[in-house]
Structure 1
Amino acid sequence: MTTHRHTTTRESYDTVATDYEMLLRDELAKSPFERAMLGVFAERVLAAGGGRVADLGCGPGRITGHLASLGLDICGIDLSPQMVAVARWAHPRLRFDVGTMTALDFADGCLAGALAWYSTVHTPLAELPEVFEEFHRVLAPGGLLALAYKVGDESVHLGHAYGHPLDLDVYRFPPDRIAELLGDAGLLESARLVREADGPGTPASTPQAYVLARKPE
């Protein structure tokens, strides 16, 4: 079901896609915490035998491309058609498709790993159970989920960012509550890294959390 929030989120990211890719293209090189957790995620998926991985809410594909460079067989899914178009341009050897995290076009249990790297930040806490249940559905037994999100218990409205007018609500989540919701969906948190903010005006201007969770065998 398409909601007003889905529509405004899609339209906002369609508007900023090209500038977003350009502005954030090299941000991962400045974020050792993110690289560390992404590296652990990739290593554990490969150690378990590898398999298909999906970057859910992939944006312009910068994390998708990084994980591919670490050896993962990965594809990207995003709500925004323009983001998908930019991702295909930036990473022509990888597959990117338009889709939504609440109705993924994957068979039950087909993924060795899934990633939602800041892609749940526009979903209210009350709607996360549906998202996490869908993640559980597509993961194979033993499959690994990686999450990144902003820490807190409030939301912020973005009316302008990346040089463009937007209409986005950005939600922050308490880590213990996220672990509880993951558990309710059948996904067991196995690692958590919470980092403090770097300061105003930086990409990490609020505390951030990086989580690994596993679907039991």
Structure 2
Amino acid sequence: MTEIDDVLVTRAAYDAVAELYTNLFKSHLDSNPFDRAMLDVFIASVNETEPGMVADIGCGPGRVTTYLKAAGLNVFGIDLSPEMIRQARAAHPDIHFEEGSMERMSLDDAALSGIVAWYSIIHTPPERVPAVLTEFARVLRPEGHILFGFQAAEEPRGVQAYDHKVAPGYRWAPDTLAEALEENGFRVTARMLRAPRPDDRGPQGYVLAVRN
């Protein structure tokens, strides 16, 4: 599958399930204290430095974006799927959402003080993820913070392909993602692996890092 093909497949797949996805995960953060805890650490980290613009990349219908907004961050959302962006704009007209690709963002260098990439790299072939991380480093200012949430590999190291319900997906071991970040302009400040909850298909991972 070429680069263009896999992006098109992912966009079309999320366009097709946008309304269902929005309804299914609308209150997901309310019942997940681990997700909220990591987002709260990210929020506190951004606020400890000079606050600026924050991007929720792969924002979907905006559930994480609204959480960050409610905490006082100057946040906007980017997503590959135009239908997801339509859902986000309809539900949250007070927040800016735009269609775009995390592989080539229309942002100036060092434009952001923070990035949340919440389950955003899971459909990107692993060989292209280092370039994505370099792009994240480009748009983050020095000492800017980035938080990843992702399905975690069952092995302690490596990346595993798996049958995601929407589009082909990849599970990352937290240590493997941390190493990729450190090789592409970041230093890791925290990582966490948690056991699956009843509605999860496997363990979940989180990595928080700072741009060098």
What TM-score bracket applies, with the shorter chain setting the length? over 0.9
Asked whether the equivalents of residues 174 and 206 of structure 2 are also in contact (C-alpha less than 8 Å), the reply is no
In the TM superposition, residue 123 of structure 1 has moved relative to its aligned partner by 1.0
- Which 4+ stretches in 1 moved above 2 angstroms? none
Percent identity (aligned): 40
Show the counterpart of 1:187. Answer: 186
Show the counterpart of 2:207. Answer: 211
Counterparts of 2:37 and 2:201, CA distance in 1: 19
Show the counterpart of 1:114. Answer: 115
The question of 1:32 aligning with 2:38 is answered no
In the TM superposition, residue 2 of structure 1 has moved relative to its aligned partner by 5.8
Asked whether the equivalents of residues 59 and 78 of structure 1 are also in contact (C-alpha less than 8 Å), the reply is yes
Show the counterpart of 1:8. Answer: 9
Counterparts of 1:131 and 1:54, CA distance in 2: 14
Counterparts of 1:211 and 1:177, CA distance in 2: 10
Asked whether the equivalents of residues 125 and 173 of structure 1 are also in contact (C-alpha less than 8 Å), the reply is no
- Show the 5 A alignment for 1:45-60: 45-60=46-61
Counterparts of 1:78 and 1:2, CA distance in 2: 17
TM-score, scaled relative to structure 1: 0.92
1:137-171: per-residue Cα shift (whole Å, max 9, x none)?
A: 0000110000011111322234xx5xxxx5x1111
Task: State which of 144, 159, 163 in structure 2 corresponds to 1:157.
Answer: 163
Measured on the aligned residues, the alpha-carbon RMSD in Å equals 1.3
Counterparts of 2:173 and 2:44, CA distance in 1: 27
Counterparts of 1:113 and 1:189, CA distance in 2: 14
Structure 1 unmatched runs, 5+: none
Structure 2 unmatched runs, 5+: 154-158
Counterparts of 1:144 and 1:102, CA distance in 2: 18
Show the counterpart of 1:172. Answer: 171
Q: Which amino acid aligns with 1:205?
A: R
Asked whether the equivalents of residues 55 and 78 of structure 2 are also in contact (C-alpha less than 8 Å), the reply is yes
TM-score, scaled relative to structure 2: 0.94
Show the counterpart of 2:156. Answer: none
User: SS at 1:107's partner residue?
Assistant: coil
In the TM superposition, residue 197 of structure 1 has moved relative to its aligned partner by 1.3
Asked whether the equivalents of residues 174 and 192 of structure 2 are also in contact (C-alpha less than 8 Å), the reply is no
1:83-119: per-residue Cα shift (whole Å, max 9, x none)?
A: 0010001111000000001101110001000110001
Deviates more, 1:1-10 or 1:123-132: 1-10
Show the counterpart of 1:76. Answer: 77
Q: Which amino acid aligns with 2:34?
A: F
Asked whether the equivalents of residues 14 and 81 of structure 2 are also in contact (C-alpha less than 8 Å), the reply is yes
Counterparts of 1:85 and 1:92, CA distance in 2: 10
Q: How many residues align?
A: 206
Counterparts of 2:84 and 2:197, CA distance in 1: 27
